[in-house]
Amino acid sequence: MSPRVWGRVRATYCRLLPIVTTYCPANAEPIASVRQASLEDYEETIKKAKEAWKIWADVPAPKRGEIVRQIGDALRKKIKDLGSLVSLEMGKIFIEGVGEVQEYIDICDYAVGLSRMIGGLVLPSERPGHALIEQWNPVGLVGIITAFNFPVAVYGWNNAIAMICGNACLWKGAPTTSLISVAVTKIVAKVLEDNKVPGAVCSLICGGADIGTAMARDERVDLLSFTGSTKVGKQVALMVQERFGRSLLELGGNNAIVVFEDADLNLVIPSALFAAVGTAGQRCTTARRLFLHESIHDEVVEKLAKAYAQIRIGNPLDSTTLYGPLHTKEAVTMFLDAVEQAKQQGGSVVYGGKVLNRPGNYVEPAIVTGLPHNASIVHTETFAPILYVLKFKTEEEGFAWNNEVKQGLSSSIFTRDLGRIFRWLGPKGSDCGVVNVNIPTSGAEIGGAFGGEKHTGGGRESGSDSWKLYMRRSTCTINYTKDLPLAQGIKFQ
């Protein structure tokens, strides 16, 4: 790939403005330079996307599904190349990079079936000779702003479902993963153009905060899906709400695993390990808090520290590597600052917590014990591999500690008690959008709706009935008689 990318890449507009250089997190060396779009480029792009929507909206939903199926097939042919690019530019290990592309493929497959199933209810009317139905139509243009940590999958969740619903898409990826955004868009645009559909149905614009702000404030963006930090998400939500627009927010997560005394530790140790250090702690579903019943605390900490010591750290493109670098040097600084704060607040680092002496953004994943459950650092989401391990005594305590943070994304308990499991799933249990039992907090399937509550934003993407967020609903009453009865028996004569 050319070391410098600019101009128009099918539906991609990245013209003569500041250049952002992307770096390989594994060695801190530059990969490519990508020119950022101007607001004039943005204006041109959004006009083309809106025009393309007029064509796309007239395509029958099953035909839209067929085109999305072809997108999935095109991604299959490039899955290893794209997975390698994710590892190179984002830093996650190769198998996770491939898995992320697989998520996009899976949601394409899911969307194909959904394209023949989306629809509203036919309801009984109280008036004779009347039909009462729900009609669903696309919202129009869906803006999609994605984060660095899932530069393919999150776009895929939104894109595939939005497309079969009849929407055009405008994507702004993270500036630090611009090559991935361009590569994916080229694949999608080729499929669209092979089907004589304008490539601008799936547009990409490379840019920074100014482009994101423009999307949030633009009334032509009918739905804005934003994935990122709670701090920025709040600003986005306010800008969208100011114009009475729609937003879909996937924000932070301070996720907990609660382990009871009857738990199967053969499940607990690998689950906690994957949830805490997978993607080097840079998933929104990463486990950041581990609550252990006091009777098993010391045993689990000892076993977990031994498991940490066996993690194969290395180049993310090496198929044997299980743990790669953090995405940026700034992330390394945040990691070190959080470890220091944990120490100052009374925590003990029982494993890791240091920068590794090698090129790139590598740190030792940290296990911290001894902090109170309400310590400020425990309640702070640090996007890094730091696991705070705390003792609890009772079920009520474990459930309450899970819920006491501001975010509400993912959660899990480990227990064999059937009553406890259903209390956990019930109204007094976990207040998160993802509520697991005997599995990690991360690694969600595409068939369920994905998202969280409270400061996580409340949005839902991917499966279940998430498609409804990408459409507008009309209730339609049709009179097929010559009479005019009114609802509620009202007489107006």
Q: Please tell me whether residues 265 and 247 are part of one structural domain.
A: no
Q: What CATH number does residue 392 fall under?
A: 3.40.309.10
| Beta bridge partners of residue 4, listed in sequence order | 33
Alpha helices by DSSP H, 325-440: 329-344, 395-403, 418-425
Mean pLDDT of 138-149: 99
Residue 1 has pLDDT above 70, yes or no: no
Task: Give the single-character DSSP code of 117.
Answer: T
Residue 460 pLDDT: 97
Inter-CA distances, 440 with 60, 148, 266, 288, 346, Å: 40, 22, 13, 12, 27
Neighbours of 481 (CB within 10 A): 10
Asked if residue 489 belongs to a domain, the reply is no
Q: Please tell me whether residues 389 and 423 are part of one structural domain.
A: yes
CA distance 6 to 283: 30
Q: Please tell me whether residues 23 and 118 are part of one structural domain.
A: yes
Residue 14 has pLDDT above 70, yes or no: no
CA distance 472 to 137: 5
CA distance 261 to 420: 12
Mean pLDDT of 190-210: 97
Inter-CA distances, 423 with 249, 417, 430, Å: 28, 10, 9
Residue 493 pLDDT: 84
Mean pLDDT of 185-191: 98
Tokens (6 digits) for 416? 């064999």
Q: Please tell me whether residues 321 and 370 are part of one structural domain.
A: yes
DSSP 162-220: HHHTT-EEEEE--GGGHHHHHHHHHHHHHHHHHTT--GGGEEEE---HHHHHHHHH-TT
Strand 407-408 with 453-454, pairing: antiparallel
Query: Tokens 């050319």 map to which residue?
Result: 2
Task: Assign 329 to helix, strand or coil.
Answer: helix
Residue 2 has pLDDT above 50, yes or no: no
Q: How many domains does the chain have?
A: 2
pLDDT grade for 12, boundaries at 50, 70 and 90 = very low
Rg (C-alpha) for the chain, rounded Å, is: 24
Average pLDDT, the chain: 96
Residue 200 pLDDT: 98
Residue 5 has pLDDT above 60, yes or no: no
Which helix (H) or strand (E) is 84 found in, with range? helix 79-89
For the stretch 223-232, pLDDT in tens is 999 999 999 9
CA distance 50 to 39: 16
pLDDT grade for 17, boundaries at 50, 70 and 90 = low
Q: Please tell me whether residues 232 and 270 are part of one structural domain.
A: no
Neighbour-count burial for 186-202, b at 16+ CB within 10 Å, e otherwise? bbbbebbeeeebbbbbb
Mean pLDDT of 66-86: 99
Asked if residue 397 belongs to a domain, the reply is yes
Question: Among positive and negative, which fits the CA dihedral 272, 277, 279, 282?
Answer: positive
For the stretch 304-335, pLDDT in tens is 999 999 999 999 999 999 999 999 999 999 99
pLDDT grade for 370, boundaries at 50, 70 and 90 = very high
Neighbour-count burial for 225-255, b at 16+ CB within 10 Å, e otherwise? bbbbebeebebbbebbeeeebbbbbbbbbbb
Residue 6 pLDDT: 32
Q: Please tell me whether residues 242 and 260 are part of one structural domain.
A: no
Asked if residue 486 belongs to a domain, the reply is no
Inter-CA distances, 32 with 38, 91, 94, 173, Å: 19, 15, 20, 15
CA distance 436 to 425: 8
Is 79 buried (19+), middle (13-18) or exposed (0-12) by CB count in 10 A?
middle
Inter-CA distances, 350 with 41, 100, 278, Å: 51, 32, 19
Asked if residue 484 belongs to a domain, the reply is no
Which helix (H) or strand (E) is 161 found in, with range? helix 153-164
Asked if residue 490 belongs to a domain, the reply is no
Q: Which domain holds residue 207?
A: 4-251+457-475
Residue 7 pLDDT: 31
Asked if residue 71 belongs to a domain, the reply is yes
CA distance 193 to 210: 30
pLDDT grade for 13, boundaries at 50, 70 and 90 = very low
Q: Please tell me whether residues 77 and 20 are part of one structural domain.
A: yes
Q: Please tell me whether residues 289 and 237 are part of one structural domain.
A: no
Q: What CATH number does residue 50 fall under?
A: 3.40.605.10
Amino acid at 185: T
Residue 287 has pLDDT above 70, yes or no: yes
Catalytic residue among 100, 103, 250, 395: 250
Tokens (6 digits) for 383? 């996007």
Inter-CA distances, 384 with 152, 365, 462, Å: 20, 8, 25
For the stretch 371-412, pLDDT in tens is 999 999 999 999 999 999 999 999 999 999 999 999 999 999
Q: Please tell me whether residues 170 and 282 are part of one structural domain.
A: no
Residue 4 pLDDT: 30
CA distance 256 to 437: 12
Asked if residue 101 belongs to a domain, the reply is yes
Q: Please tell me whether residues 383 and 327 are part of one structural domain.
A: yes
CA distance 143 to 21: 24
Residue 131 has pLDDT above 50, yes or no: yes
Asked if residue 487 belongs to a domain, the reply is no
Residue 138 has pLDDT above 50, yes or no: yes
Q: Please tell me whether residues 170 and 267 are part of one structural domain.
A: no
What lies within 8 Å, CB to CB, of 493 at 6+ separation is none
461 included as an active-site residue? no
CA distance 119 to 484: 28
Residue 89 has pLDDT above 50, yes or no: yes
Whole-model pTM over 0.75? yes
Q: Please tell me whether residues 244 and 260 are part of one structural domain.
A: no
Query: Tokens 């530790």 map to which residue?
Result: 265
